[in-house]
Structure 1
Amino acid sequence: MSEKPYTPPDHGTSPSSTGQLMLVATPVGNLADISQRALDALRMADAILCEDTRVTTKLLRHYGISNQLIPLHDHNEQDRAPALIDRLQQGQCLALVSDAGTPIVSDPGYKLVRAAQEADIPVTSLPGANAAITALTLSGLPPIPFMFLGFPARGEARRHSFAALRAAEQAGLAATLIWYESPHRLLDTLKTQQQVFGADRPAAVGRELTKHFEEMVRGTVAELIAHFEETPPRGEITLLLGPPAAEDTGAQELDQALENALESHSVKDAATLVAGIVNLPKRTVYNRALELAKQKKNR
């Protein structure tokens, strides 16, 4: 059955009729990976909001589409949103695209969507390509549950964010973790993961997904480090880290260390002592110590 052409709302003749904001997914690499519904929407919209006009122009030219392009990115979204909301309230239909994949996911547009929703303007999504989901299906890692975490922080903040995730795992989190990363930071990120999560954690790196040189590298974190030290990564990168092994005893070890420390220390001092041993954020360890102390008191 052929897909019906997408029809935006009827603008009508009244200037007070409300338009619609359409979130249109675009290919992550292969230009053929776009739906007919998305192409119809890009043709029929009053304007297309895009992250980079050069990237979107390439897609539109490929499909013979001519339309007004309005740049919308991290640096101008806040200032541009009121005027765009005004256009929508006047009955215009605007399409929002990112450079690649599903809009809003690690891309601009969230502020505009929130503003449109608060103004009771209809917002719809035309689904399509997404690099995180594509990589997940190819990784060989457990697909459910998973957490998408955007781009990792840089420098010391990266280690702290990974340590917080490791603490969550010690409290019971068991999920495949997904990040986007730039090729020149991939090795540093993998090395930080090795320090926090261990060298033997299963992981995968998706590179240039859907493109001619698509590659999925699978192995332990240590094996991925060795691979990319020998073969420097290029292109768009999606990084996945598998969940901890079923026999992972991190949570029990944390609780045991805290219970031992609480026998002779205050909650604050016990948390400080144990945080230095388990390489976890002090605040996280303190919260767990506080919980264990309450449990002990209520026994």
Structure 2
Amino acid sequence: MKAAGAVLWREADGDVEIAVVHRLRYDDWSLPKGKLDRGETIPACAVREVFEETGYSCVLGRHLRQVSYDVRGVPKTVDYYAAEAVSGDFAVSEEVDELRWLPIAEASELLTYEPDRDVLAEFARLPADLLLVLLVRHAKAGKRSEWDDDDDLRPLSDAGWRQAEALRALLPLWTPTRVHTAPRVRCADTVRGVATDLSVEMVEEPRLSEEGYWPDPEAGLVRLLEVASDEGRAVVSSQGGVIPSVVQSLAEMGGLRLSEVPCKKGSVWVLAFTRPFGTWSTSDSPSRWPTLVSAHYLASALPRP
């Protein structure tokens, strides 16, 4: 059984408040969460459950952790995200009869279950407002050996277009405002729908293509950090020969341990970075650059059957 939820937060007088809900059926205080519907992704479930239990629309941030336990002998996992409340108002429902906005320490004391307190502690470990890059590997494009034209022009396959449409539905849950792409037809077409929906032009990133990255990997890493630092969140579409190196290198620079860096076609790495103090440049010490503090892998944007 799979479920998803969130630490729903908002700014309050320069600090952060957390939404804690009281569930009438269980007479407990918990973080908003619930089971996946058929045909739903885990991130979409988190957003929906937050709205149904709190009345607030939200924007997803970093993945916090997955909690596992048994429900009447059936294994259950719950994936939790940080989520910023952007609009809405609480109303009593059959499931939730009270919501309280509380400082983190008070919210932790009120929560009934230890796993919820652990999730909240993970949220509190880092700033709530982080820079975010959604690093996408292009969707399926058939076999290179079966394409006779310039490989830069190799198009998405039918399966690839399905993946692209799924990404078009998934990525807006993090409310990106910019779309960047390696200069490949298959990379651009993977995120073209997202750019269309945002009414923005895609920005080509030669440094994040395979032949542009490997002659100078450091320049490619710096370019991704520059993209992360710009105003608003970004989608970046790249290739399988680039993404694992970028993610692993940034993780090592930030002291973040990753046991592996998978990179399936149509997958997404949700990368969260600290905000640098003031402006930064490549001439500064790397300690002043944005630092990768969270990297969560989504193997597929396609919903569960």
TM-score of the alignment, normalized to the shorter chain, above 0.5: no
- Report which of the two has the higher share of strand: 2
Which entry has the higher C-alpha Rg, 1 or 2? 1
TM-score norm. by structure 2 comes to 0.30
